A = this chain, B = another copy of it.
Amino acid sequence: VTPSAPGVRLRFDPDDPRTALAAWSRLAEPGDEAAADLIRRMGPSRALRAVAEGTAGSPRWSVRLPHLDPMRDLTTVRTFGGRVVIPGDEEWPSGLAALAGAQPFCLWVRGPLSPAVAAERSVALVGARACTNYGHEVALTLGGGCADRGISVVSGAAFGVDGAAHRGALAVGGATIAVLAGGVERPYPRGHDSLITRIAQVGCVVSEVPPGSAPTRWRFIERNRLIAALSRLTVVVEAARRSGALSTASRAAAIGRVVAAVPGPVTSAMSYGCHWLLRERDAVCVTSAEEIAELVSPIGTDLPEPPPYPRAEHDGLPPDAIRVLDAVPLRRPAELESIARSAGLPIATVSAAMGRLDARGLVTRQPAGWQRSPTRRLPAQSDSEQEPNG
């Protein structure tokens, strides 16, 4: 960082840190670590003065310097019912600290939800804009399921997975954060105007760039780091080979957050990125909101109920008893000795096992020996390979 610009007269008083940080958010692009470094060393106000005086700064800031007007930006965001949140504010999400030198200068925020509170238990649900019906359904279900469990849904308000995730949360009256690449007063994409407006009414819309800023490529790329940093974990719902969602996953991994992926049909190109994450990046395989809740919460709390499953009739029987059961005929009774031969077990063992099988109602004593009880058909989803006597 070397002096490069001649002195410039600022059209505002940079001594208020909020004003200074608002100015920095227009002066430097997202993720500008030289700016972050200067602010860290000098504080935002002194750093701004130094740049204006030409005693510090990067040539890339000087072109914007004469046009800075943070008071106008602050007025604009207020017109839209919004505010600016800076580090140290109660509303500043602690998770952003993980970005270190790439922390945003400030957050431009709309909506009644505090980003700090919402980001405390949160999940990023991200994925393909051109998602399939499957991805749409899963995003909607996971969004609703997470919100139902008190987990905020963070996403980018894009078409496809992002929108479905936000809508899933909104539909159950849950918390959701939309992180935009452009100004918060400027819903993008246009087709999500009403969705983003709704989130601004009941949830939280945030951006690191000031009102009026266009959502450029660069800002989309850097926006993804905010989505990652505002979430306890990032779940990729559907992603093609080159999806932006993979960039969010990579930013999440870079700051040490858990990355998860929802599997899908291997025949679907829209699940390619998810399977790649599972295979090459050790992503956690996630199939339900319960599993997400388990990852968001400290270990041991909020564990999902073990799902009930159908029992096979031989469940829990010791190996000998299973072999005896195999050997008891279905259609006519047999003597203990014949059963013992068939099972390859001594008669004493067979006799003991028979008592156990009888107690479970699996065999019936007849005058001529033992016989299998009439079969209780197992539920169809019991797909065990274990067959009755062939």
Contacts and interface: CB of A to CB of B under 8 A. Distances in A.
B242 A325 contact: no
A349 B217 CA distance: 18
A239 B384 CA distance: 9
A267 B134 contact: yes
Contacts of A205: none
A349 B387 CA distance: 73
Contacts of A156: 385
A170 to B, nearest CB: 21
Contact of A214 (B243, B267, B322, B389): B389
A75 interface: no
Contacts of A28: 344
B128 A383 contact: yes
A245 interface: yes
Contact of A344 (B64, B263, B346): B64
Interface of A: 4, 27-29, 58-64, 67, 128-130, 134, 137-138, 156, 158, 181-182, 186, 188, 214-218, 220-221, 224, 239-245, 247, 262-267, 269-272, 274-275, 278-279, 284-288, 291, 307, 309-310, 312, 314, 319, 322-323, 325-327, 337, 340-341, 344-349, 380-390
A347 B63 contact: yes
B286 A279 contact: yes
Nearest to A337: B63
14 contacts: A4-B346, A59-B349, A60-B346, A61-B344, A130-B380, A138-B266, A186-B390, A215-B390, A216-B323, A218-B323, A221-B322, A243-B385, A263-B278, A266-B288
Contact of A217 (B27, B262, B348, B386): B386
Copies of this chain present in the complex amount to: 2
A286 B266 CA distance: 9
A387 B323 CA distance: 65
A58 B349 CA distance: 12
Contact of A242 (B128, B265, B272, B384): B384
A37 B250 CA distance: 53
Given A214-B389, A217-B388, A271-B263, A346 B312 contact: no
B240 A138 contact: no
Contacts of A323: 29, 216-218
A314 B217 contact: yes
Contacts of A217: 314, 322-323, 325-326, 386-388
Nearest to A388: B217
A284 B188 CA distance: 38
A263 B242 contact: no
A22 to B, nearest CB: 15
A242 B285 contact: no
A384 B346 CA distance: 68
Contacts of A4: 346
A28 B128 CA distance: 57
